[in-house]
Structures are given as C-alpha cells and as structure tokens.
Amino acid sequence: MATVLSAQSTDVQVNRTTPALFREFPTPSALAAAPRERVESLIRRLGMFRRKAESLQRLAHQIDQDHGGEVPRSLDALVRLSGVGRKTANVIMGTAFGEPAITVDTHVGRLSRRMGLSSETAPAKVEQDLSALLAPAERTMFCHRMIHHGRQICTARRPACPGCALRGLCPRIDVP
C-alpha cells in the first residue's frame, strides 16, 4: 500500500501518512470496506488523494478477495494487482519477501546509464541489463544503494563527482 501511495509523493510524506492509515485499517478487508471519504482524509497530504484512495481500496479488495487477504508472493500475481506495476512488484519481491529483484526507478535508470551499466531508457531493458551483470543475491541491495547514491551524491542536476567514492570506477557518461 505504501509503495502505491508513493507515486508523485516523497518517502518522507508517505512514512508520515501510512501509520494512521494502517492503524485505522489494519487489514485489506477493513480498507476495502472503509468509507472512501475517510481514506481520502487520511492520505490527503500526499496529493492526488482521491485517485490514490480509489486505487488503494481497489487493491485492498483484490488482495482480500483474490488472495485471501495476503499479498501474493509472485511477480506475475503482483503486477496483476490494481496500481502495481513492475517497479512496485520488484520493490515488494526484494524488500518484503527477500527475493532477488531489480527495481528500476529514475535513480537506478539514470545511474545505470551514467555509469555505463546500460544504455537503455526503458526500465524493463535496464532491468535485463542489470540482471546480466548482477548475481541474484546482490540485486535488491544493489538497487537500494543506487537509489541512495542517486539521491545523495550522483544527483541528476549536480552530481558530486569530486567527492564520490566511485569516481575512479565511473565513466561519468552524460555528466553535465
């Protein structure tokens, strides 16, 4: 649910919002049956709250009805859920279930191109390129590290190349 809410929102805002939501609606069936207005009021600060509330409740209903209230544990089943794309499914597989997964968000895609690990722009193709380079056991944490590095050091507008620990290894492709 938190990953679905994160679209067009910061992790900080999602992490501030979800405790009250999950406290009030602790199960998929409770969230699916909740009054839409109440769900909207709990997630209002995230923006696009009406659309997100609708998506959350549709997702909760699917999990409750089609999966017995449990989040499915396969990538194929996850991507069939409302509001869950491949990126979200990979986050869940890698982070929640500990399965090898490559999550290609904007940071992973940008840094993969910048570091010469992929020349692709389509997330699925970047995922394929990284899969060929990384052992399964390394995939999830590699993506977490890339996301952190992309937020803190190797930003889109102003990468901090002079102080970067990877400077000697990085070809710095397309660095402004």
- The answer to whether 156 and 111 have CB atoms below 8 angstroms apart is no
Q: Write 27-31 long-range contacts (CB < 8 A, 24+).
A: 27/64, 27/69, 28/59, 28/60, 28/61, 28/63, 28/64, 28/69, 29/60, 29/64, 29/69, 31/1, 31/56, 31/57, 31/60
Q: Running DSSP on this structure, what letter comes out for residue 10?
A: -
- Residue 176, classed as helix, strand or coil, is coil
What b/e string do you get for 117-156 counting C-beta neighbours within 10 Å, with b at 16 or more? bbebeebeebbebbeeebeeeebbebbeebbebbeebbee
- Residue 113, classed as helix, strand or coil, is helix
**Which tokens in the block code for residue 52?**
């997100």
Residues with active-site annotation = 87, 105
